[in-house]
Structure 1
């Protein structure tokens, strides 16, 4: 099987980096996260443990899922070419 190292690898890495950047930004913009990080009324519900429990999963998921979709798309296109 011939591997496309040039553009496909660079595209996958760029997509992974974009996902790892966009996922935490989206996570921070959600009302639930803002409430846990101090957006509650008079500091009610402040729970900074979400930074240790949820944030790593958000970053890993944001990096991995776009890369997985990109990999599956590239393999599907390669199989269609024959």
Structure 2
């Protein structure tokens, strides 16, 4: 069986990689995250548990949300894969 790689597949992978890179950068730039990661005076209020609780969800959301949107758009626009017999 031959695998067919098309533009939608490559676009989905590229969007997933871009989302997985951009989401943590956006998360790190938020004031709430900066406050937890040492934005207080002399490390007061530093809470490193956000790295274990929030960061995995940010990474997963950043990777899968663009892929989900691309999949829904491909389905709604009627893009169908050619059937291989």
TM-score category of the 2 structures, normalised to the smaller one: 0.7 to 0.9
Normalising to structure 1: TM-score of the pair?
0.87
Runs of 4+ aligned structure 1 residues displaced above 3 Å come to none
Q: Distance in 2 between matches of 1:40 and 1:62?
A: 28
Q: Does 1:38 align with 2:22?
A: no
Q: Note the residue ranges of structure 1 that are not aligned, 5 or more in a row.
A: none
Question: What's the CA shift string for 1:38-65, capped at 9, x where partnerless?
Answer: 1112211100111011000000000111
Shift of 1:5: 3.1
Aligned residue pairs total 76
Q: Which residue of 2 aligns with 1:6?
A: 6
Equivalent residue runs for 1:1-82 within 5 Å: 5-78=5-78
Q: What is the Cα-based RMSD across aligned positions, in Å?
A: 1.3
